[in-house]
A and B are shown apart, each in its own frame.
Chain A
């Protein structure tokens, strides 16, 4: 009697990271709500562009006013506008689904028991949230550039900066990309904190409510002159820095400072998420 053939030795004890990430991203992107949300985000710059054209130059103040006849301002204006609440909402939604949603459905248990380290699980969930942030911001930026050039037009395909200088298309696109990257950085901070809350609770709504409520509270605190000393700690206090990309020469101080602050929030949120997930019972 011959012994049964030995099973081949296992070379990998865990699933490859690439496959995990692809599975998570597919999982996030196949949710109809994610797709509907991204579709609505693409409409933001179009709606602003139509509004600016209909108002026809009487623009008003701020970045929206600066968009009139100066289409390449549109992507920056749209991203700045969306960063106040809409983009954080998208990120919070993705983060709420990522852990709290799976807990609520009872599907997280399977993931906790699967041959995937907890750290890798958190990384996988975080990258799903990050992909939503990148896609939503990128969509606003790309549609913004197109709508700015096609619907608003003006300024001979160039960008008139807030400083009164004119810069070419290539340079202007570089600046839009810079604002997009900076926005994604801020959203990563929001996402990290949202994931930490998501790991704490099993109700996705709590994540949404705490992130949006937190942002509103930050906004209120930032508006009270007597609480000026809080400004350096509030994530939202640097969120107007995106407009700096429209100045010439380009001042990087505001965006640099808010990116460092976002990094602080991201490390706090990420650390808490990992700590909570490592201790979690399956």
Chain B
């Protein structure tokens, strides 16, 4: 009988999340210093597991099941420079992305296809000339519309981290309450991003490492050979954004209540929106409104789409302008 009790207790212990320990003691740092150190950080090779906890309230997209509410995990490997590998397991299938330095391979086990595209040229990391000045500039720019602070410390993926908090200034009309970035105290890389919306204590989005190890990686991880039986498709670089005549989106406002107005996608690949959303109308015409935890979008009947991390009223004003 005692053994049965011990087993039950063991089961209970298994279910307890490997909890956040006490906030670690770290030397104080200002927001400018923290951002400047992140800009110059060179973490080197690492591997880890990234967990996405998504409560944004977006519809599930067939191409990207990670967009719908729920949690998903990915495993990442990086050689610290241009090479990397990401694996996105979903149920009994998996997508794998491998960047081997010159080519990006994308593998989908569901239909056994490999997509091969050349890696975009150009500087991968552009070190700022003077990180301290650049960080001061960034913080100054952010402080125009937000409060930027280092708010204590946290433990993320078993590592001590500073919590950098961005909150909108009281004049900003936004659905967001706070954006928190946990920055590793030693390596100065972002470990976790948390987005909090107004009216909810649970994060709307949390993306972060649940486990992270720095150190040399097996170079064979950064190569990919299409397996036998796979269909290989070649995709030229920048095929998507080279469309001529694509109108540049209009930006209304600045800071947290920025609204972007663009032409709604048309043609075969455009998603069928007519059955979704809530019908709305205003001085700008008629359309359909989509609300999520962190943002609102209005698709008008005349083919415009307005998106922002704002309530409906701000979108309406931006569309009327």
Contacts and interface: CB of A to CB of B under 8 A. Distances in A.
Given A162-B89, A243-B92, A263 B15 contact: no
B7 A265 contact: yes
B27 interface: no
Q: How many of chain A's residues touch chain B, expressed as a range?
A: 35 or more
A223 interface: no
A105 interface: no
Given A162-B109, A260-B14, A271-B1, 14 more contacts: A69-B229, A154-B228, A155-B229, A162-B93, A162-B94, A163-B96, A163-B107, A244-B89, A263-B10, A264-B7, A268-B4, A269-B4, A271-B4, A271-B6
B87 A163 contact: yes
B230 interface: yes
B215 to A, nearest CB: 15
Interface centre among A62, A165, A233, A240 (most CB of B within 10 A): A165
B114 to A, nearest CB: 7
Contact of A251 (B3, B75, B110, B112): B75
B119 to A, nearest CB: 18
A232 B15 CA distance: 5
9 contacts: A155-B228, A160-B227, A162-B89, A163-B87, A164-B227, A165-B224, A240-B91, A270-B4, A275-B4
Interface in B98-154: 105, 107, 109-110, 112, 114
A233 B107 contact: no
Given A251-B75, A272-B1, A264 B10 contact: yes
B227 to A, nearest CB: 4
A32 interface: no
Task: Name the prevailing secondary structure of the B interface residues.
Answer: mixed
A12 to B, nearest CB: 27
B10 A271 contact: no
A29 interface: no
Interface in B199-230: 221, 224-230
Contact of A264 (B11, B109, B110, B114): B11
Interface of A: 61-63, 65-66, 69-70, 154-156, 158, 160, 162-166, 232-233, 240, 243-244, 247, 249, 251, 257, 260-261, 263-272, 274-275
Given A70-B229, A155-B229, A249-B221, A266 B92 contact: no
A164 B14 contact: no
Contacts of B92: 61-63, 66, 162, 240, 243
Contact of A271 (B3, B91, B93, B96): B3
A267 B3 contact: yes
A263 B13 CA distance: 13
A264 B4 contact: no
Contacts of A69: 229
B23 interface: no
A259 B228 CA distance: 33
B97 to A, nearest CB: 10
A257 B93 contact: no
Contacts of B75: 251
A270 B225 contact: no
A257 B224 CA distance: 30
A270 B15 contact: no
Contacts of A62: 91-93
A272 B112 CA distance: 48
Contact of A268 (B8, B14, B230): B8
B1 A261 contact: no
Q: Which 4 A-B pairs have the closest CB atoms?
A: A267-B7, A271-B4, A271-B3, A164-B107
A154 B229 contact: yes
Interface string B8-36: 10111011000000000000000000000
B14 A261 contact: yes
Contacts of B89: 162, 244, 247, 251
Nearest to A272: B4
B283 interface: no
B135 to A, nearest CB: 37
A61 B93 contact: yes
Given A155-B228, A247-B89, A164 B109 contact: yes
Nearest to B218: A249
Contacts of B14: 232, 257, 260-261, 264
